């Protein structure tokens, strides 16, 4: 029986353990989206993870939905991320970039003035997020997004492929496509946010088309063994709603499977029966971020249960990696975990970012 600490093959990579650092938005990249000087230290500190999945990075300026998130669409972004990946590799780690287009989760206050005018933010349909954005100037209501034209959808797919190529130029080992948590790919999948009447909306086959075409384009650009896809079936975060979760995601996986991508990453939202059904129809490698009963942080027992039940080959940990840079060692040795400080999760300086000690201090 495999344990959380056994090695596993992922594409061309051999991971020393099955512990994945989940993508964690930290809002420290600055207005230009260039990762700060501390980012390399932060990720290198966590290089003992079997795999690091970096924080969500917008594939284009229009893809930004949160303040001070990093990008992967300029030469400056590539240069800064190159320093991060070099430090991670020097520490013996492996790191994928996450490509995150926020879609309707955007506001003009978040981006440069020339981006925050005209067709921004964008979405499959002009359905406003019912909540408020988090900007440097407060919490304004989200605006009604602009519906993407089919030509703009094609341009957006190209943006993802270009960003994936940029990630490879920056030294990443691969990319994960963010199709979860209410971001653009998820917005196309869900009938609550996709009311289109063209070939990208309506039926399940049409609603999965955008995610499939993005995955195809990225796989063609950098190779399928360097590509992962993250989903969160049934997730209502970011004002999302799906009426057909149990039919939607098996159809998506059936369409994606022939591409032979490196992994599927599932964020669970208290619906273990859905996770089991998806595992049954996904023969490839699976990463699970397990939350069988709410959003409690993943612990060793929950992670090993995932492996024991064959639900996934790898398990991703989120907030416990923030406060425990040596998380695999602590889990294996039974060392008490440090609790993170939520007030330092988003934005700020080194505090709550690179100053958490290892078990050895």
Does 176 reside within a domain?
Answer: yes
* Total of domains in the chain: 1
The percentage of residues in the chain with a pLDDT greater than 90, rounded to a whole number, is 88
Tokens representing 106? Answer: 């955007």
Does 276 reside within a domain?
Answer: yes
Give pLDDT, residue 297.
78
Does 355 reside within a domain?
Answer: no
pLDDT per residue as tens digits for the range 213-227: 999 999 999 999 999
Judged against a pLDDT cut of 80, whether residue 114 lies above it is answered with no
Does 359 reside within a domain?
Answer: no
**Long-range contacts of the stretch 352-359 (C-beta < 8 A, 24+):** 352/322, 353/26, 353/28, 353/38, 353/42, 354/38, 354/41, 354/42, 354/45, 356/45, 356/322, 356/323, 356/324, 356/325, 357/325, 358/45, 358/325, 358/326, 358/329, 359/326, 359/329, 359/330, 359/333, 359/335
Does 88 reside within a domain?
Answer: yes
Does 353 reside within a domain?
Answer: no
Give pLDDT, residue 116.
63
The percentage of residues in the chain with a pLDDT greater than 70, rounded to a whole number, is 98
CATH number at residue 207: 3.20.20.70
Judged against a pLDDT cut of 90, whether residue 294 lies above it is answered with no
Give pLDDT, residue 242.
96
Tokens representing 248? Answer: 């939607």
Does 254 reside within a domain?
Answer: yes
Judged against a pLDDT cut of 70, whether residue 64 lies above it is answered with yes
Does 3 reside within a domain?
Answer: no
Q: Which domain holds residue 215?
A: 8-344
pLDDT per residue as tens digits for the range 85-98: 999 999 999 999 99
């Amino acid at each position: 029986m495999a344990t959380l600490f056994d090695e596993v093959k992922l594409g061309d990579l051999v991971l020393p353990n099955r512990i994945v650092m989940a993508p964690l938005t930290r809002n420290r990249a600055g207005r230009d989206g260039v990762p700060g000087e501390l980012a390399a230290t932060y990720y290198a500190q966590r290089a003992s993870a079997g795999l690091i999945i970096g924080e969500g990075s917008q594939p284009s300026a229009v893809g930004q939905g949160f303040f001070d998130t990093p990008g992967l669409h300029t030469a400056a972004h590539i240069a800064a991320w190159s320093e991060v990946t070099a430090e991670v590799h020097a520490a013996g780690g492996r790191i994928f970039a996450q490509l995150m287009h926020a879609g309707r989760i955007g506001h003009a206050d978040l981006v440069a003035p020339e981006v925050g005018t005209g067709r921004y933010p964008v979405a499959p349909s002009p359905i406003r997020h019912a909540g408020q954005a988090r900007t440097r100037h407060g919490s304004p209501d989200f605006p009604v997004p602009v519906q993407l034209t089919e030509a703009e959808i094609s341009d957006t797919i190209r943006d993802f492929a270009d960003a994936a190529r940029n990630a490879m130029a920056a030294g990443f080992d691969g990319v994960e496509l963010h199709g979860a948590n209410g971001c653009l790919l998820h917005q196309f999948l869900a009938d609550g946010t996709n009311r289109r009447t063209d070939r990208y909306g309506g039926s399940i086959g049409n609603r999965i088309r955008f995610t499939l075409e993005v995955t195809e384009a990225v796989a063609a650009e950098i190779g399928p063994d360097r590509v992962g896809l993250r989903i969160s079936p049934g997730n209502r975060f970011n004002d999302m709603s799906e009426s057909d979760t149990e039919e939607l995601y098996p159809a998506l996986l059936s369409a994606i499977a022939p591409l032979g991508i490196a992994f599927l990453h599932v964020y669970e939202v208290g619906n273990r029966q859905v996770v089991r059904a998806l595992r049954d129809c996904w023969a490839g490698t699976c990463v699970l971020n397990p939350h069988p009963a709410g959003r409690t942080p993943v612990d060793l027992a929950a992670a090993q249960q995932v492996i024991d039940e064959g639900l996934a080959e790898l398990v991703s940990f989120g907030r416990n990696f923030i406060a425990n840079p040596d998380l695999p060692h602590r889990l294996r040795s039974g060392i008490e975990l440090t609790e993170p400080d939520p007030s330092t999760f988003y934005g700020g300086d080194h505090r709550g970012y690179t100053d958490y000690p290892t078990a050895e201090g």
